[in-house]
Each structure stands twice: as C-alpha cells, then as structure tokens.
Structure 1
Amino acid sequence: MAEQMDIEKHYDLNERDFFEKILGESMTYSCADWRQCGSLSLAQYQKYQKMVKFAGIDAHTESVVDFGCGWGTNLKWLAEDFPALKRITGITISYEQASYIRENVMRGSLGRRITLDEVDVFEHIAAQPTPRYDAAISVGAFEHFASPKHYKQNNHIERYGQFFNGARRCVAGKFALQTIVAAQPANRLKGEARMRAMRFQYFIAKHIFPNALTPTVAYIEQAVNGYYDIEQLELRGDEYAYTIMEWQQNLMQHKEGVPHHQYELFMRYFDLCIEHFLSGYISLARLSLNPV
C-alpha cells in the first residue's frame, strides 16, 4: 500500500497551485463523466452525481464517508446538495490536500458537517464502530490500497479483501467505487504490448505514484466476495483519456508558470496515460457495490 511519503511525492511536493492550474475550478483529480457534458467542470460534477447514485445517497442519508477524498470537492458538493447529511467524513494522508480542504472546503457553515481524518484508510476503518456510515464513496484512491510488494507476495487480493471487509463492517449501505483497472497484469502480455506496459509501469512507479498497484476487475470481483455484490459496473477508459487531454491542455496554457522539469514530466505522464487508456491496456471502472 502507498504510504504517506509516497503520497507526498506526488501531492505535497507538487505545489497546490500547480494542481489548480491543470485541474481547473472543480479541483478534481480523477476521471470525469463526459457523456452529457462539454466542459471539464460540468463533466466532473456529473461524475460526482453518478457516484452519488451508485452509493444510494438520497435525501434520507445522514452520513457518508469518502475513502481517499482528494482535494475535497466531493465533500463540498455533498454538503451543498444534501442538507440532511449530518456527517460527511473525508479520509486523506496528504498534508497538502488536508490543508486545502480546511482552507477552502470546511469554511463557513458547510464545515460544521464535514469531518477530516488524516489517517491511513485501513487505520480509519479499523477504529470505527459497527456501523458508522450510511453510504461510502471512493474515487481514485483504490489504486493505493495495495502495493507491488503485495502482488509479488501473492496477497494483493487478500489485502483488497481486508479493505472491503472493513468497509462493509463500518458502512451500512452501498459503496460507490471508481478506480483505474488493468485489462490484465503486464507480465501476462506478449511481445511489444508487454514491453510498452512494463515501461509504463516503471515510469509511473519511479516518477508519479510509488508503491501503487493497478487492480484488475477480476481482482475486485474476488476481493468483494462475501462482502458486496457488484450491482453495476461500467468501464470507460475513453472518458479518462479525454479527461487527461483536458488537463494536458490546461498545463500547456500555463507552461510559462510551471518549472521546465515539472512541465516535461507531466506532459510525458499525460501522453503515456492517454496512450494506454486508448489502447485498452488500462481502463476506468465505476462500480456500485451492494452489501450482502
């Protein structure tokens, strides 16, 4: 699993204003839902609405947890859209993200219903009573819940299962999950496809997200067994490619205000991600999980 120093490498060492430049006003660092929208901000809000639907959140829901809450945009939208929500909890181990949320999301009356827990997700769920939340969402964090070390030791599915077991114990209702998925592990590919996938993995591990592990849908299906039924699943790698194209355009527009090495690194990162999402090696999965 990615540890705090791994998260800091990406989020805390790249200054906040850098992410504000590339992500735009929604400040959302995950795949948007483009099927009915033409702007990045609206597409991110539509993605949030889909996750709300997948989690079964409605006017009667009183408590929601966001496992890996990023820059806090979902927390803000939940507080604005659902006045009956009494407790909205975000989990993050990024100091920079937590600081941003306190300064920009938890200000004013909304902040009275938003709680931030700066701990590891596994630590948080282990400390909760049964059950504590009515519903859960997690967007773009699941890739950090197991590591290449778990994969090499062949206990990555067990690790995912520990997470789903803990989530099921502390969340009474449905769970909306969005994560990048691999079509299959790179070491099972052949020829040039294998080499491209291995180079991509090496670049991500070295420069972007140390100790992250991209799951497959099959891994998730095995890990949720006994805890959740997969009520709905959609795969939209094309939408992630389009989202990253928007980020890349934003980055190019701010080229003069970004250090050269950072600009070149993220342009390479975005190019590789677009290539692999469009090739089908990786995709974007959205799941609605119903507790059993």
Structure 2
Amino acid sequence: MAPPSPASTVTDPPPRPVATPPQLDTAPQQLVAGLLGRADIRINGDRPWDMRLHDPAALERALAEGNLGLGEAYMAGAWDCDQLDGFFDHLLRAHLNREIQPARLAWHALQVRVFNRQSRTRAWQVGKAHYDLGNDFYEAMLDPRLAYSCGYWRDADTLAAAQEAKLELICRKLGLRPGMRVLDIGCGWGSLMGFAAERYGVQCIGVTVSKEQAAWARERYAGLPLEFRLQDYRELDASSLGGPVDRLVSVGMFEHVGRKNHGAYMEVAARCLADDGLFLLHTIGKNRRDSVPDRWIDKHIFPNGDLPSVGQVGDAIDGLFVAEDLHNFGADYDRTLMAWHANFEAAWPRFAARLGETFHRKWRYYLLSCAGAFRARELQLWQWVLSKDGVRGGYRRSV
C-alpha cells in the first residue's frame, strides 16, 4: 500500500494546556468553600453562578471581612463569575451573609449604632462621591428621564416604560391635581417633578445634595414651574417653601437619612405638609431591624447609607403620620438593575479611559450583587402613603 500523500496526512492537534485549579490549602479557604457549597456554588465549577477562583486568598478575605473582602477581591481580579447576579442570589438565599460575621464588623456596627454618620456635614459626601460622577455617565446607564430608582414593570417591557409607569403610579397615589404644590425631598435629576408638571400641571420644589443633578435638572426642565435647590432636607420648613405644600414625595432618598435621623426627617416632612396633604415615601428596605449597612457598599458606592426596616419606619412616623398604604414591589428592582447593567456594559467603551478597569469591575459588582439581593428577596422596595390625621372615609389607592 502506498503511503498517504502529505496533503492527506492527519495529525492530532497539540493538547491544550489545562489550568491547574488553585489549591485550597488552608482551613479558612476550605471553610469558605464548604459554605459556598451549601449555597450550591462550586469553586471553579462550570455553571454560570459558580466562582472562578484565581487567588485562594480571596476566600480568606471573604471570611475575615465579609462582603468588603469579597468585593475588593473581585475588584482586584482575584475571582470571577459569569453571572454575579446568580452568584448572589444563591449566596443570599442560603443566608450565608448571616453566618459569616467577621470580628472586624463589630467596629463598623458600633459606629452605626453610636455615631450619627448622616449628620449635616456628612450628608453631602454621597452627592460628591456617587451622584456627581458625571451626568453623561448616568445618561448612558439610566432611562431618558434619569430616574435612578426602581421601575414598575407590571405592564412594562422596557426600562423607559417601567420608569414612566413608576412615575405615573406615584402621581396617582398622591392624587395630584392642577395647581397643587409638591415638595420632592431628594429630587435627583428631577424625573418625578418634570413628569408631574408636564402630565398633572403641578408646581414643584426639589432638594438634592448633588451639584450635578441640580444643574442638569435646571437645564432639562427650564420653563416648567419647578425649583431645584442644593439643600439639606433639615433646612426645610413651611415658611421657606412659601407655606405648607399639598403633597410631599421622596423617592430613593430615605436610604441616606440614617437611623439616627429617621425621627427628625419625619418631623421635617410633617412641618412642611399641609394638614390634609399626603406624603409618599419610596425607599429600599431591609428585612431585619438589627442589621448594619454593608461595608463594601458603604465604602465604595453609597457612603453613610443605611437601609431602614419596616419597624424603623413605623417608629419614625409614630405620632406624626398615619400609614394609609404600604406597597412592596421589590422584585421589580432585580429587573431594573439588570437593565442598568446592560446599558452600563454597552456604554463602557466610552468611559473606560476615564474611569479605569477597577471602576468597571466595581460598578459591575454593585449592580449585579444588588440585583441578586433583590432576586433573593433579601432587600425590598416599599412605597408608603402617609397622612397626618388619616384620610377621612379611608384612603383608596387608584391603581
């Protein structure tokens, strides 16, 4: 038989090098791997929510520092995951965050309980650190109105539609009518104020601690009966507003108030609102009163943030307001965050040189870990409707 011609010779390709998985040599590393296994998360597994470990020291950081260590290790590239949202859904469904309580968390917990971390001077820090990142950045990530809070997805299939549905929901719950005066505490980029003025013919005053937000809103809504103030909420009273307002609203701002200031915040709201007015409070909430703010979020995303529990809100309104309605649509925040993340990743090439890869990983971790937390129902989103003395005949939600 003639030998095969060179053209027909078939040779096996050289074997691909196989990366050696990092060895878990220490007891802390093995302990964390075991805990993750209880949440159905495998180290170097092949499912999208499994952890791909590049440096085993990341596990020791997670054990020593909780989410602060885990998140900073991710920012440094010590581990990866194809679906961080799925990773955190599994982790939080298994309540592993309640089992890993590092000793270093004790000082953070003491600070939260003893000191007022949201004082008048410190309240401006989150504006500078987070909301003043750049209006072009937020324009790329958010919807056209720059609504930076949970959308309402019941009948919506796009982010823009979900945010407009949320704004409409708020306006209808408040029973807005032409000529009413509305105060928006923590107005952001003015999404609700602009919507309410355009659709319902109301006048609005909004306060924010972000210079960038105030500047953008003033330009965007020039010509409408809207006033945007760079001001701390504690400076507000009826006289500074030209008399009590008919309606008061606060969307995504109460998370920055802090447990030491909940009562003072509600007193401000009461002194600004007309006796027959309504107050809608839209806030992220936590399931347990005794939990403390996440250290990674506190350090890298929202300085001095402090999510309230139902009980803490109840304590704050005691003697000041009647709770007319409480609506939880926290599951919708998962979808909102995933939409923001998709926009963020699509726009990232525009910001990569300015912000850098560490920021890229940080922001991805923020958006997707929060999506996983809402998916696991570890976090909630509440809309409270409050009145001073109870709506005569009862409050009727119009939606």
How do residues 7-156 of structure 1 correspond to structure 2 at under 5 angstroms? 7-12=127-132, 14-59=133-178, 61-83=179-201, 85=202, 87-105=203-221, 107=222, 109-110=223-224, 113-125=225-237, 128=240, 131-146=243-258, 151=259, 156=260
Q: Which amino acid aligns with 1:104?
A: R
- Pick one of 286, 291, 300 that aligns with 1:182: 286
Tell me, in whole angstroms, the C-alpha distance in 2 between the residues paired with 1:99 and 1:130: 23
Task: Tell me the CA shift for residue 263 of structure 1.
Answer: 2.0
Partner of 1:169: 271
Query: Relative to total residues, which structure has the larger helix share, 1 or 2?
Result: 1
- Structure 1 regions of 5+ residues with no counterpart? 188-197
Task: Tell me the CA shift for residue 262 of structure 1.
Answer: 2.5
Give the SS at the match of 1:174. Answer: strand
Q: Look at both structures and tell me which one has the larger radius of gyration over its CA atoms.
A: 2
Tell me, in whole angstroms, the C-alpha distance in 2 between the residues paired with 1:66 and 1:90: 5
Residue 213 of structure 2 is aligned to residue 213 of structure 1: no
Task: Tell me the CA shift for residue 58 of structure 1.
Answer: 2.3
Give the SS at the match of 2:184. Answer: strand
Cα offsets for 1:172-215 (capped at 9, x unmatched): 1000110000011464xxxxxxxxxx7x8111100001111100
Answer yes or no: is the 8 Å Cα contact 1:55–1:289 preserved in 2. Answer: no
TM-score by length of 1: 0.85
Tell me, in whole angstroms, the C-alpha distance in 2 between the residues paired with 1:49 and 1:124: 26
Task: Tell me the CA shift for residue 97 of structure 1.
Answer: 0.4
Give the SS at the match of 1:277. Answer: helix
Cα offsets for 1:74-131 (capped at 9, x unmatched): 1111111123x2x3101111101011111212x2x31xx1111211011123764795
Answer yes or no: is the 8 Å Cα contact 2:236–2:268 preserved in 1. Answer: no
Tell me, in whole angstroms, the C-alpha distance in 2 between the residues paired with 1:184 and 1:135: 30
Q: Which amino acid aligns with 2:192?
A: N
Give the SS at the match of 1:134. Answer: strand
Structure 1 runs (4+) greater than 6 angstroms displaced: none
Of structures 1 and 2, the one with the larger relative CO (CA 8 A, separation 6+) is 1
Tell me, in whole angstroms, the C-alpha distance in 2 between the residues paired with 1:18 and 1:72: 17
Give the SS at the match of 1:244. Answer: helix
Across the two proteins, how many residue pairs are aligned to each other? 263
Tell me, in whole angstroms, the C-alpha distance in 1 between the residues paired with 2:241 and 2:368: 44
User: Structure 1 48/161 Cα, relative in aligned 2: closer, same or farther at 3 Å?
Assistant: same
Tell me, in whole angstroms, the C-alpha distance in 2 between the residues paired with 1:185 and 1:280: 15
Partner of 1:239: 332
- Structure 2 regions of 5+ residues with no counterpart? 1-117, 390-399
Q: Which amino acid aligns with 1:168?
A: A
User: Structure 1 273/211 Cα, relative in aligned 2: closer, same or farther at 3 Å?
Assistant: same
User: Structure 1 255/130 Cα, relative in aligned 2: closer, same or farther at 3 Å?
Assistant: closer
Task: Tell me the CA shift for residue 225 of structure 1.
Answer: 1.3
Answer yes or no: is the 8 Å Cα contact 2:289–2:311 preserved in 1. Answer: no
User: Structure 1 126/143 Cα, relative in aligned 2: closer, same or farther at 3 Å?
Assistant: farther
Tell me, in whole angstroms, the C-alpha distance in 2 between the residues paired with 1:282 and 1:62: 34
Answer yes or no: is the 8 Å Cα contact 1:122–1:163 preserved in 2. Answer: yes
Partner of 1:192: none
Tell me, in whole angstroms, the C-alpha distance in 2 between the residues paired with 1:211 and 1:94: 15
Answer yes or no: is the 8 Å Cα contact 2:147–2:189 preserved in 1. Answer: yes
Tell me, in whole angstroms, the C-alpha distance in 2 between the residues paired with 1:100 and 1:262: 23
Aligned sequence identity (%): 30
Q: Which amino acid aligns with 1:24?
A: D
Q: Which amino acid aligns with 2:127?
A: I
Residue 262 of structure 2 is aligned to residue 160 of structure 1: yes
Give the SS at the match of 2:368. Answer: helix
Task: Tell me the CA shift for residue 258 of structure 1.
Answer: 2.1
Stretch of structure 1 that moved more, 48-57 or 243-252:
48-57
Q: Which amino acid aligns with 1:183?
A: N
Task: Tell me the CA shift for residue 9 of structure 1.
Answer: 0.3
What CA RMSD, in Å, does the superposition of the two structures yield over aligned residues?
Answer: 1.8
TM-score by length of 2: 0.63
Stretch of structure 1 that moved more, 2-11 or 265-274:
2-11
Tell me, in whole angstroms, the C-alpha distance in 1 between the residues paired with 2:124 and 2:230: 10
